[in-house]
Amino acid sequence: MEQNQASLMFFNDSVYGTFAIEEPVLRELIESESLERLKDISMAGYAEPFFPGSYHSRFEHSIGVCYLLSKFGASLEEQIAGLIHDISHTAFSHCVDYALSEGSETHHTFQDDVFETFVTQSTIPQILQRYQFESEALFDESRFRMLEQPLPSLCADRIDYVLRAGIHHGVIDRATVREFLDRLCIIEKQWVFTNSQIARQFAEFFRYANDKYYSGLESAIMCRSVGDLLKYSLRRSYINRADLFQTDRQVLAKIIPHLKEDSRLWKFWRQMNNQIEVENNPQSFDAIVTCKSRVVDPLCLVGKQVKRLSEDLPDWQEVVVNDSKPKTYHLKFQD
């Protein structure tokens, strides 16, 4: 991120290339402590040991969502909502759903449940008031239809995170990103592909990302292991709940000094760093893990009509039904 004399913020983004953010309210929010914290929170939780080279942060995603909304004509208020939509994420992102009793393995909703409280207790309301925006207006997600939609619909959040994952895992490039974006349009606040062929390509890519990264075996191992480490560390008072709202690095800095003296903590540490062999074995297992599964059924133009991909290609409906179900794994650790 760079600033020039005109106070533009320039970003060289891995997904969209170089772009500038001009609006003063967006720039001030980006410089706030709440957004800065996201620079050290992994988007995927703790994926690097399982997918080396794939690290990217919640901050990058938040900037990307804001940019995508701007590019496709969303209001400034919706751009603000997009920029701050992830600020209540804890360290290690969705892994916390596997550590806390109020978390949800199948829905990954902890950060949504605490969003309003987190924003209210941050500096975000004061920043927004200086620009005549009210933070309370951002708590009603239904007002921002381009930003968020329930699965299996497309939305800016979903489009950015899957494109960003694809780039960082090396399975797509910027040319593919441009191809998808060039064939998207907004009709009545909904994301619509210009034909069913490109909609199918995007949906298949999303399916691959879900099976491989979001709900695959490696993600199950990561979420369970990190969740166990955090839960155990909370119980042993190595960390407290407030620490979870710091950064990945800060939480680990409090846990790591206890590794040598605590063999159980050391075991969880080795598991989450992919140092112990694991298999999915329903006959003999140490832990049952459920992963949220995601699937999209994009809108697309068929002639002059807007239809779901599954309406134009009925075989996709079976995919939507099957892939909407959470995935369950029976983990057997070999150590």
Encode pLDDT of 68-96 as tens digits: 999 999 999 999 999 999 999 999 999 99
* Half-sphere CA count of 119, side-chain side, radius 13 A: 23
Close Cβ partners of 139 (under 8 Å, ≥ 6 residues apart): 115, 116, 119
d(CA 246, CA 243): 5
Instruction: Please state, rounded to an integer, the average pLDDT across all residues of the chain.
Output: 96
Q: What is the pLDDT of residue 41?
A: 99
- The helix (run of H) or strand (run of E) holding residue 331 is strand 327-333
Alpha-carbon distance of 83 to 64, in angstroms, equals 8
Q: In the predicted model, is pLDDT for residue 219 greater than 50?
A: yes
Residue 2 has pLDDT above 80, yes or no: no
User: Hey, where are the domains in the chain?
Assistant: 2-217+292-333
Q: Are 41 and 50 in contact (CB under 8 A)?
A: no
- Residue 46's pLDDT band, with cuts at 50, 70 and 90, is very high
Q: How many CA atoms lie less than 13 Å away from 56 in the CB half-sphere?
A: 20
pLDDT in tens, 247-281: 999 999 999 999 999 999 999 999 999 999 999 99
> How much is the pLDDT for 7?
78
Contact 121/87 with Cβ under 8 angstroms?
no
Cβ atoms of 298 and 193 within 8 Å: the answer is yes
Residue with tokens 């999209």: 296
Separation CA 248–CA 243 (nearest Å): 10
- C-alpha span between 126 and 50 (Å, rounded): 40
Which residues are CB-contacts of 54 (< 8 A; sequence separation ≥ 6)? 44, 47, 48, 165, 168, 169, 213
pTM, to two decimals: 0.96
Which tens digit of pLDDT belongs to each residue from 139-175?
999 999 999 999 999 999 999 999 999 999 999 999 9
| Token reading at 277 | 């062999």
CATH for 2-217+292-333, among 1.25.40.10, 3.40.50.1370, 3.40.30.10, 1.10.3210.10?
A: 1.10.3210.10
Question: From CA 226, how far away is CA 120, in angstroms rounded?
Answer: 28
Nearest residue to 161 (alpha-carbon basis) of 15, 6, 5 = 15
Residues 6-10 have a mean pLDDT of: 84
Burial of 53 (0-12, 13-18, 19+ CB in 10 A): exposed
CB of 222 closer than 8 Å to CB of 45: yes
Strands 190-193 and 299-302: parallel
Instruction: Assign 101 a pLDDT band (cuts: 50, 70, 90).
Output: confident
Compute the distance between CA of residue 290 and CA of residue 227 in angstroms, rounded to an integer: 12
- pLDDT at 242 exceeding the cut of 60: yes
Using a pLDDT cut of 70, give the percent of the chain over it: 98
* 8 Å CB contact between 158 and 152: no
Q: Are 38 and 54 in contact (CB under 8 A)?
A: no
Predicted pLDDT at 5: 44
Measured between alpha carbons, how far is residue 81 from residues 39, 137, 190, 298 in Å? 18, 9, 17, 23
- Chain CA centroid to CA 327, Å: 18
- φ and ψ at 53, to 5 degrees? 85, 5
Q: Distance from first CA to last CA of the chain, Å, rounded?
A: 44
Structure tokens at 4: 């020039």
Torsion sign over Cα 42, 62, 323, 112: positive
Q: Are 89 and 37 in contact (CB under 8 A)?
A: no
Percent of the chain with pLDDT over 90: 95
